[in-house]
Amino acid sequence: MPTNPLQAVINVLQALVVFAAIAVLTSKSNSKPRLVTALLLLCTIFVGIVFYNNYSSRTKDRKGAAVMEAAQSEFVMRLAQGMKTAFGNSGSPSQSLSSVDGKMYAEAEKSIDKAASRDPESLPLLFKQVVLRAETGREFKAQLAKIPQCPDKDGRSAPTATLLNNLFVKKHLDAGEMPASVALVDQLTSAGFYRDVLKLEIYKAAGDKKLFESKKSEYDASSQSFIMRLIALMIYMAFSVVVGLLVIGTQIVLLPRKISDDGAVAKIRAPAAYGFAKVYGVLIGWLTLESFISPIIIAIAGNFKTGVKDATVLALLTMVIYLLSNLPALILAWFIAIRPTGTGFFEAVKLRWKTSTRSTFGLVMAGILAWYACVPLALCASLVSKHLFGSEGSSNPVLTIVMEAVRSHNVLAGCLFIIAIGVLPAICEEMLFRGFLYTSLRWHFGPLLSMVISAALFSAVHMDPGAFAPLFVLGFVFAFVFERTKSLIPSMVAHCLWNSGTFILMLSLFG
């Protein structure tokens, strides 16, 4: 029996939704419209309570945010070490560089402390907290004292405390303990800064100078490579912002008073005016089915937040979870709204590989340019959201999975993740929000209001308040390029590039 009263209400509503759905499917009487209305009402209440419960749980359970904070600390430390390696060994130590190091160390310490406060029972985070403080010359004994009492189902707390004490207090490790110590570090950290510096400390404390010097040279080369990749990435991002601004400026200058004339609107609208009940039924039915399986999804995602998993398995599971969550929406759209019109599904959602004014190549190029336009717009939206509304950024649990994947150096996993987080969302979400929802709205509203409504719903259903503003901007741009080209291909291309770009950006820095 559920201990959470809200969960008990959810269980009751779940049963009522099932009974109402069966009644609707089996009823042939004149009361069927009233049964449909009752079903929609029950689904609305059920989804509202489930979303509230899930949002409350996500707010209280900050493990995903903790992982991202820890990644931020690692990024800053890798940057500091890379700058020291690249510029600090020139024979003329710079006081300004030392000052920059100090600021970076303070920022990294702030991030790892915040991560540990979000998930205070995480042994890996406490472990990293001690390591960072020790590596930057901060006091760490108070944090070290917490580790033996840290709950860990694998019984690693005591060995972890002993290892850290040997490395940073005694500064000595018996040579015979080195393999077990390396194995423990591999368990508690992913590939990256923390794992690298811990292994160097192990080799140093064990007195293996030859191995230490060899790995230190590799680490220094890796740090320099990180700086070069970061510089290249910053140059490309600056280039993307400039191109994006040019694209936006060109659209503003060339944009006609009416984006689509009366004849062109027919190419945008759905094959028929589905009506509010059908459109709402598709959306609330999808969210209801997603809510039914959300406990499974939450349980699986929760297991991704801690520990080091096989990246290929993570990618495959991410694909399965995404399809389970989103395919029902397209199936419902087909059976409830599109099928009765007698129009093919792909034609109904405007999946056109060429139009009267653009070839396939032209449509793909329109998508690429739309992606460039998204870069400065989404960046501005994120900055405004952060500084005006105190947003801490995205809390999407998928990001924590991606952080593990980019460190795996697994080519197959990388390709699968691009499909899982780039290709599949671009196909499914564009068909639903632009191909179905937006084309339905265009029967009743002008392009601007249709773009705003579809973008707002697109952002809202992601259930990620910290990313609402940039997601809204993306949804608006995707709807705009769809309206301009009369094809779903450009918005799919732009969507795929945006999602895949997030993965590639992380891969370029941490992979």
Q: Indicate if the pLDDT at residue 59 is higher than 70.
A: no
SS3 464: coil
**Measured between alpha carbons, how far is residue 421 from residues 158, 295, 369, 470, 497 in Å?**
38, 21, 20, 17, 10
pLDDT at 344 over 80: yes
pLDDT at 97: 42
Higher pLDDT, 92 or 30: 30
What is the sign, positive or negative, of the torsion defined by CA atoms of 274, 277, 283, 286?
negative
The beta-carbon contacts of 217-222 under 8 Å, at least 24 apart in sequence, are: 220/85, 222/196
pLDDT at 93: 40
Provide the 8-state DSSP code for 462: T
Instruction: Supply the pLDDT for residue 349.
Output: 94
pLDDT of residue 85: 72
Rounded Cα distance between 447 and 440, Å, is: 11
Q: How far apart are the first and last CA of the chain?
A: 45
Query: Are 454 and 393 in contact, with CB atoms under 8 Å apart?
Result: no
DSSP single-letter state for residue 422: I
CA separation for the pair 224, 397 (Å, rounded): 31
Q: How confident is the model over 93-138, as pLDDT tens digits? A: 444 445 666 788 888 888 888 888 877 888 888 888 888 888 888 8
Length of the chain: 511
* Tokens encoding 377: 């717009």
The region of weakest confidence among 76-90, 281-295, 486-500 is: 76-90
Average pLDDT over residues 324-345: 92
* pLDDT recorded at residue 391: 58
Q: What is residue 307's predicted lDDT score, i.e. its pLDDT?
A: 44
Selection from 102, 116, 174 nearest residue 144 by Cα: 116
Among 104, 110, 98, CA closest to 80? 104
Which residue, 150, 118, 119, 115, is CA-closest to 129?
115
Triad 422, 426, 431: Cα angle to 5° = 160
Q: Mean of the pLDDT values across residues 135-155?
A: 84
Q: Please answer whether residues 479 and 355 qualify as being in contact, where contact means their C-beta atoms are separated by less than 8 angstroms.
A: no
Contact by Cβ (8 Å): 379, 477 = no
CA distance 132 to 81: 12
pLDDT tens column, 301-331: 555 544 445 677 777 888 888 888 889 999 9
Q: What is the pLDDT of residues 387-399, one digit of tens each?
A: 776 655 555 556 6
Mean pLDDT of 482-487: 93
- Choose the most confident range, by mean pLDDT, from 261-275, 367-381, 406-420: 367-381
Least confident of 217-221, 357-361, 426-430, 443-447: 217-221
**pLDDT tens figures, 180-215:** 988 988 888 877 788 888 898 899 988 888 888 998
Q: Work out whether the CA dihedral 491, 492, 497, 499 comes out positive or negative.
A: positive
Could you read off the pLDDT of 431-484 as tens digits, one per residue?
999 999 999 999 999 999 999 999 999 998 887 777 888 999 999 999 999 999
- Quote the strand ranges of 265-319, DSSP E: none
pLDDT at 409 exceeding the cut of 70? no
Share of the chain above pLDDT 70, in %: 85
Residue 76 to residue 83: CA distance in whole angstroms: 11
| Gap between the Cα atoms of 370 and 358, Å rounded | 15
Predicted pLDDT at 353: 94
Q: What is the token pair recorded at 187? A: 């368990």
Average pLDDT, rounded, for the chain: 83
Phi-psi sector, 287: left (phi>0), alpha (psi -120 to 50), beta: alpha
* Cα distance between residue 270 and residue 441, in whole Å: 9
Give the span between the Cα atoms of 113 and 146, in whole angstroms: 13
Q: Is the dihedral of CA 244, 246, 249, 254 positive or negative?
A: negative
Average pLDDT on 139-144 reads: 85
The residue behind tokens 């993965």 is: 503
> Residue 428 pLDDT more than 50?
yes
Smallest CA-to-CA distance from 403 within 385, 421, 386 is with 421
**Three-state DSSP class for residue 498:** helix
